[in-house]
Amino acid sequence: MLRTVITGVTGRMGSTLMRLARSSRDFTIVGATARQGSPVVGLDAALAARMGEPLGLAVVDNLDRALEAGAQVVIDFTSAEASVAHARQCAAKGVAMVIGSTGFNADTRHQVVECARSIPVVLAPNTSVGVNVVIQMAAELARVLGQGFDVEVLETHHRMKKDSPSGTALRLAEVLAGSLGRNSEDLTFARRGWIGPRSEREIGVQALRGGDVVGEHTVFFFGEGERIELTHRATSRDQFGKGALRAAEWVARQRPGLYDMANVLGFQRT
């Protein structure tokens, strides 16, 4: 059984992970955290995560304390800033990590890369197996279709999502740019006003927000007289959670380094 700490257990993903890990024979939850000052600190972790039967484990507000019970892996879906702080704590204690948080910038990502010198870290904006298959397919489609198609990425998420565009949309755009020989300067995040004709190199990335949408991503390849749409729709957070548990089992056996879901799933880079 993998000795696991889950951070941010009151969150949409934290509570999903608590439920899935608890019901798996392969995991034992040895620590659960919430933000400093959260009213659930000190409460039973099952209660904090809105589950039934108590776990007999109190929520703590400091990851160092949660790691005291000999954790092998931390699964962290909180925020980029919190994940960086958690990664430093894990690096100091030699504990592997799965980070599902999004909203990283160059600096916060670099700090995770530094921590991954001493511990294995899976950093994945989307842990669903289905989305990662779509990312692979999008890269391959772009490579095969070549330059004659206008490529756009559209994502839709619930009204509570804080970062935009989604980490998955950014990953899709990066992968598409890689396949098409383009770079970050070719990504277009908004259009407004007298913008003139679309340039051939652009990769558009647009975001919608509303209601309780779990997460939807479409890559459009607009051609002359035809178009291809590649869509993934998540209707439950369980697929993110199951993918994260799979990543946790995998990362606990790895050497220090920075990995993503393509590594976990054994995909060849296209």
Ligand X SMILES: NC(=O)C1=CN([C@@H]2O[C@H](COP(=O)(O)OP(=O)(O)OC[C@H]3O[C@@H](n4cnc5c(N)ncnc54)[C@H](OP(=O)(O)O)[C@@H]3O)[C@@H](O)[C@H]2O)C=CC1
Going 87 to 76 to 54 to 21, the CA torsion angle's sign is negative
CB of 24 to ligand LZUJQKHR, least distance (A): 21
Query: Would you give the binding string for ligand X spanning residues 137-176, x where CB under 6 A is met?
Result: --------------------------x---x---------
Interface mask toward ligand LZUJQKHR for 168-207; x: CB under 6 A: x---------------------------------------
Asked if 34 touches ligand X (CB under 6 A), the answer is yes
13 near ligand X, judged by CB under 6 A: yes
Quick one: which H or E segment has residue 220? Answer: strand 215-222
- Our CA angle for 96, 100, 105, nearest 5°, is 105
Nearer residue to ligand LZUJQKHR within complex by CB, 67 or 99: 99
Task: Give SS3 for 133.
Answer: helix
Number of Cβ within a 10 Å radius of residue 50: 11
Of ligand LZUJQKHR, ligand X, none, which one sits near residue 149, judging by CB under 5 to 8 A according to partner kind?
none
* Residue 256 annotated as binding site: no
- Centroid of chain to Cα 110: 16
Q: Is 193 annotated as a binding residue?
A: no
Given the complex with ligand X, which of 97 and 180 has the nearer CB atom?
A: 97
Q: Closest separation between CB of residue 173 and ligand LZUJQKHR, Å?
A: 12
Using alpha carbons, list the distances in angstroms from residue 42 to 56, 85, 168. 11, 21, 34
Q: Is 80 in contact with 70 (CB distance < 8 Å)?
A: no
The residue of the chain with the least Cβ separation from ligand LZUJQKHR equals 215
Q: Does 109 bind ligand X (CB under 6 A)?
A: no
The Cα–Cα gap between 164 and 24 comes to 33
Residues 6 or more apart whose Cβ sits within 8 Å of residue 116: 87, 123, 256, 257, 258
Residue numbers 77-96 binding ligand X by CB under 6 A: 77-79, 82
- Under the binding rule (CB under 6 A), the answer on residue 240 touching ligand X is yes
54 is in an annotated binding site: no
The set of catalytic residues is 157, 161
Question: How many helical (H) and strand (E) elements, i.e. helices and strands, does the chain have?
Answer: 9, 11
Residues that bind ligand X (CB under 6 A): 7-8, 10-14, 33-35, 38, 77-79, 82, 100-103, 124-128, 163, 167, 240
